[in-house]
Amino acid sequence: MTDHIRELDEATVAQIAAGEVVERPASVVKELVENSLDAGASSVDVSVESGGTDRVVVADDGRGMTADDLRVAVRQHTTSKLGDADDLDAVSTLGFRGEALYTVGSVSEMTVTTRPRDAGDSGSRIVVDHGDVGDVTPAGRPAGTTVEVADLFGETPARRKYLKRAATEFGHVNRAVTRYALANPGVAVSLTHDGREVFATTGTGDVRDAALAVYGREVAQSLREVDADPEVESVERVRGYVSDPEVTRSTREYLATFVNGRAVTDTVLREGVLDGYGGQLAPDRYPFAVLFVDCEGVDANVHPRKLEVRFEDEAGVKSAVESAVRDALLESGLVRSGAPRGASKPENAEIAPESGKSESGASDTTRASGGDEPTAERSESAVEPAPAGFGASESDGATGRGNDSAADATSSGSTRRDSSETDSRARSFDPPAENARLTADTGDEKPDETDAAPERDSLPELRVLGQLHDTYVVAEAEDGLVLVDQHAADERVHYERLQEQLGGASQALVAPVELELTAGEAAVFESALGGLRELGFDAELAGRTAEVTAVPAVLSDVLDPELARDVLAAFLSDAGGDPVGDAADALLSDLACSPAIKGNTSLTEGSVVDLLDELDACENPYACPHGRPTVVEVDGDELAERFERDYPGHTGRRREDAGN
């Protein structure tokens, strides 16, 4: 490091600029496709090898460049799209900074071949080798431009090592090309990966035609048109398409939003789309969307890669998008404001009282989101009449299964009771259950030998006192109060049990299940198949249709084969990690929820002891698989503070009173 301020050399400047613009192969594709579209191309062909890490080629039939223009185009901050700074506020082209070719050429071996439309057979070529610009030479080519990029980050290994596996990098490339194909349906766009065509749009100008090529017939037929002129001053128009609530994926991969023609990733727009569904989407499902927002008050110059924008009126934009999507779905009869979240199909939207009791006296707690029939042995015993002083009171009768789903939390927690009924929401155990070990820090003390307390390795000592709201086990710990969420605890037990059994034998399906894939999902099928087979799946690909023939045996009774499609979507996302394992983990988490003891369920004393024993045996007994805590402890100091036992002068006043 020098002590004097000096001007950076050109190579260092180029590397810094490239770091802002070129992050991965998809960044190269994005910049080059934008140049092609800005050049008025009617066709753009993108070809990549190994996800773009080995080679990227973008060819178009646009205006092309003369030899003189080509010589200037590879320099920094050279562009035909801006005159001066005043043009920045009214920029209408996708690219405008004049950095694309310069920065790509600084971190790769880049060859540009081009010919203007009116130049006969006279074309030009230039090679830029990691910043070293060669001479312009004659070359034959039809009108337009071809840019070939090889050896990306070849001389910057620190950058190259951060690239992901080829399937993940291809996922980014696929997303970029797909966005431009959907945003420019009048341009014929094709994508080829490792010599195999992924998709090719026809350039008819119809977004549905482009969606058919990119996403397939199932998705294209589910798209509902959105076209609104919102009553929001900053938003001129919201148009495009969104899918039926039933046609979704587990990632945001297919939620494409555009602002003034530019593809952007924006939380305001995404939340507006999701809110427009009015609760018809499960929390972990995302629709297909191709949505264009034309508005004023947008700053497109806030991100080096132009992936983000800034709105002057964020609230207004979100409201405009939400209402436009909601109105489009309402007009198609696809939004029912009374249906529970995640149960948008007619057969799932059962009508049931929100609270009250059936004629038999049992609480009516089964809701439209369903799935609460007792399946585990302990869950079955939980609905039997309980011993006096521990289980349900006589007025409760045989308590039905509760429901911990988001749709039912309010209704099950607000069940009305007549004032004459015995309030059994807080019950004590008589006699107290055995001491249990319920905290991680147990110290050296052991429970009283006369208690016959079970030895537990993970959870601390406690004396179980009873149940609160038929949902929480209440216990006394060595220094405070402990609450155990019975549903979260049992969910953890079921989850780890399923984990142990996953990856074993496969169960062949009686009839194969055919799943139509998007172009991107089909392209990564082979990469994902090995991991799917390790879990117990088996499938074959024919064109863009995956035929699932077997599923993991342990899950065969309840598994939806469409998990295979979610795994493929995960390969295309930027989640990192293990897409197959992550998708399977999410499935196990959901499956563990169904048989777990629900809230609003009274337990017998033995059920509580069994639950604590099984929770203690878990690898992680402190959280359910969805991340909610299973155990909450309020220590003695906090209790003392809440009851103001440390109030100044408290003991002094007591002594004075005693003296009086």
What percent of the chain is predicted at pLDDT more than 90?
A: 34
- For residue 11, the SS3 value is helix
- 66-122, pLDDT tens digit by residue? 999 999 888 864 444 434 444 434 444 454 444 788 889 989 999 999 999 887 778
Distance CA 126, CA 470 (A): 76
Contact 309, 296 (CB under 8 A): no
Higher per-residue confidence, 325 vs 564: 325
DSSP 511-526: EEEEEE--HHHHHTHH
Predicted confidence at residue 159, as pLDDT, reads 83
Average of per-residue pLDDT across 268-296: 91
Distance CA 486, CA 615 (A): 10
Predicted confidence at residue 598, as pLDDT, reads 83
Average of per-residue pLDDT across 556-580: 69
Sort strands 109-115 and 123-129 into parallel, antiparallel or unpaired: antiparallel
Q: Which regions of the chain carry the CATH code 3.30.565.10?
A: 10-200
Q: Is the pLDDT of residue 53 over 90?
A: yes
- 524 CB contacts (<8 Å, ≥6 apart)? 167, 170, 171, 568, 571, 572
Burial class of residue 322 in the structure, from the number of CB atoms within 10 Å of its CB (0-12 exposed, 13-18 middle, 19+ buried): buried
Grade residue 378 by pLDDT with cuts at 50, 70 and 90.
Answer: very low
- 224 CB contacts (<8 Å, ≥6 apart)? 241, 242, 243, 244, 328, 329, 331, 332, 334
Q: Which of 142-156, 184-198, 411-425, 458-472 has the lowest mean pLDDT?
A: 411-425
Burial class of residue 530 in the structure, from the number of CB atoms within 10 Å of its CB (0-12 exposed, 13-18 middle, 19+ buried): exposed
Predicted confidence at residue 5, as pLDDT, reads 66
Phi, psi torsion values for 195, nearest 5 degrees: 85, 0
Q: Is the pLDDT of residue 139 over 50?
A: yes
Distance CA 182, CA 172 (A): 16
- For residue 29, the SS3 value is helix
Grade residue 133 by pLDDT with cuts at 50, 70 and 90.
Answer: very high
Average of per-residue pLDDT across 137-141: 92
Token digits of residue 257: 């939003």
Grade residue 349 by pLDDT with cuts at 50, 70 and 90.
Answer: very low
Distance CA 454, CA 447 (A): 9
Size of the chain in residues: 660
Angle between helix axes 166-183 and 525-535 (nearest 10 degrees) is 130
Burial letters 326-344, b for 16+ CB under 10 A, else e: bbbbeeeebbbeebbbbbb
Predicted confidence at residue 504, as pLDDT, reads 64
Grade residue 258 by pLDDT with cuts at 50, 70 and 90.
Answer: very high
Predicted confidence at residue 317, as pLDDT, reads 93
Distance CA 573, CA 510 (A): 32
Contact 74, 149 (CB under 8 A): no
Higher per-residue confidence, 272 vs 647: 272
CATH of 10-200, one of 3.20.20.370, 3.40.630.30, 3.30.565.10, 3.40.30.10: 3.30.565.10
Q: Which of 259-273, 381-395, 637-651 has the lowest mean pLDDT?
A: 381-395
Q: Is the pLDDT of residue 471 over 50?
A: yes
- Average pLDDT over the chain reads 75
Q: What's the DSSP call for residue 304?
A: T
Three-state SS string over 213-268 comes to HHHCHHHHHHEEEEEECCCCCCEEEEEEEEECCCCEECCHHHEEEEECCEEECCHH
What percent of the chain is predicted at pLDDT more than 70?
A: 68
Integer angstrom CA distances of residue 195 from 51, 73, 202, 551: 12, 30, 20, 31
Average of per-residue pLDDT across 252-265: 88
Q: Name the fold adopted by 216-331.
A: Ribosomal Protein S5; domain 2 (3.30.230)
Average of per-residue pLDDT across 155-178: 89
Grade residue 608 by pLDDT with cuts at 50, 70 and 90.
Answer: confident
Measured between its terminal Cα atoms, the distance across the chain in Å is: 79
Q: Is the pLDDT of residue 606 over 90?
A: no
Predicted confidence at residue 52, as pLDDT, reads 94
Q: Is the pLDDT of residue 215 over 60?
A: yes
Predicted confidence at residue 548, as pLDDT, reads 87
Q: Which regions of the chain carry the CATH code 3.30.230.10?
A: 216-331
Average of per-residue pLDDT across 150-176: 89
Contact 174, 190 (CB under 8 A): no
- 10-42, pLDDT tens digit by residue? 665 555 555 456 889 999 999 999 999 999 999
Longest dimension (CA), the chain: 115
Q: Which of 105-114, 400-409, 456-465, 564-573 has the lowest mean pLDDT?
A: 400-409
Distance CA 230, CA 354 (A): 36
Q: Is the pLDDT of residue 358 over 50?
A: no
Predicted confidence at residue 486, as pLDDT, reads 92
Q: Is the pLDDT of residue 602 over 90?
A: no
- 181-203, pLDDT tens digit by residue? 999 999 999 999 999 999 999 99
Distance CA 506, CA 538 (A): 8
- 481-529, pLDDT tens digit by residue? 889 999 999 999 988 888 877 766 778 888 888 889 999 989 988 888 8
Contact 240, 329 (CB under 8 A): no
Q: Which of 107-116, 142-151, 360-369 has the lowest mean pLDDT?
A: 360-369
Higher per-residue confidence, 618 vs 584: 618
Higher per-residue confidence, 29 vs 411: 29
Q: Is the pLDDT of residue 158 over 90?
A: no
